[in-house]
Amino acid sequence: MARVIRTCWGNPSSSHSAGKAAGKILEEARCRTAEAINASPSEIVFTSGGTESNNMVLLGAACANSPAKRHIITSKIEHPSVLNPCIHLLEQGWDITFVGVDESGVVNTAEIEAAIGSNTALISIMLANNETGVIQPIEKICDMAHRHGVPVHTDAAQAVGKMPVDVNRLGADYLTVAGHKLYAPKGIGALYVKKGSPWQNLMFGAGQEHGMRPGTEPVHSAAAIGEACRLVTSDLAMAVEKMKKLRDRLFQLLQEVSDSRVYRYGEPDNTLCNTLLVSFPGRIGSKILTACPDLMASTGAACHDRQVAISHVLAAMHVPEEVAMGTLRLTLGRYTTETDITQAAELIRTAL
């Protein structure tokens, strides 16, 4: 990114030499982003991040269907950038079905299929939850939806770089990628739009990004997400195995430092390799974190972690209040070490 900022200042839409150089870098980034999810470069639209990508689908693509189709199916555990556009549409007269999840945080696929009707415009279910890390059965959901002729969007912001993501295997028609979740900078993301999928623009301008997201592209940020996608997928299996081992080791250490039972959310084999959502029943998660400020963690999703309350995700899972209030979300990265998790467990022990 720094190299592109220094050396490639042209507008990628310009026909002069600087513009052509910028355009080449932009398309290389598009190819690398596409390769990370096994898509075609022409199916990738660069955005400002996961929130914009989700809004583009919920408020744009869903409205591209027949006027008679004003029904969306989503889940109770989605990110606010999916839930809030759905609530907005609900206020505009749309019919929104919010399906539930089981105690392990997996969506009820039978409830989804039962909700599909002739007026259903879209189904939007995340690939992996941003709090629990629980992986959802998107392939199964896409199969059932397509039998009824309904397109599917999946928010894969948490998943890319932490598990294999193949849009063709999943069957998704739209898929969200967030740059800062895979070591790209904040403020850049991507949206996969399967060729031929319904589409309606939210913004209008000069026609950049296949005319789907107008405005001069941030070439340096696009280059960064393209390179990040290349790097995180080049050694994905090895990185996943490493993070999974450290995640499970961290849980073992937490069990050893706590004087009471530590509750773990989700099935370990069906959660992201880097995500450990745990609870210390009878405690207050925010107070634990206040007592160890050097621990970079949260009580829930980092983007809305400023209140002492049970998250909507845990509420949907029907977690008892005593358990939910003691929740900590601990997420590892590719560069987390054994020393890091040992220190983290010790900080939590002291805080407890």
| Active site positions, annotated | 303
Q: Between the CA of residue 133 and those of 4, 243, 292, 330, 340, what are the distances in Å?
A: 34, 13, 23, 10, 20
Rounded-to-10 torsion of CA 210, 213, 216, 218: -100
Provide the token pair at 192. Answer: 């996969």
User: Going by C-beta distance under 8 Å and a sequence separation of 6 or more, which residues neighbour residue 290?
Assistant: none
3-class DSSP state of 198: coil
Q: What distance lies between CA 202 and its chain's CA centroid?
A: 21
**d(Cα 235, Cα 245) in Å, to the nearest integer?**
16
Tokens representing 111 are: 């409830």
Q: Which residues of 230-260 are buried (b: 16+ CB within 10 A; e: fewer)?
A: bbbbeebeebbebbbebbeebbebbeeebee
- For the CA atoms of 152, 158, 159, 162, the dihedral, rounded to the nearest 10 degrees, stands at 180
CA–CA gap between residue 33 and residue 45 (Å, rounded): 10
- Taking Cα atoms as reference points, which of 84, 95, 25 lies closest to residue 58? 84
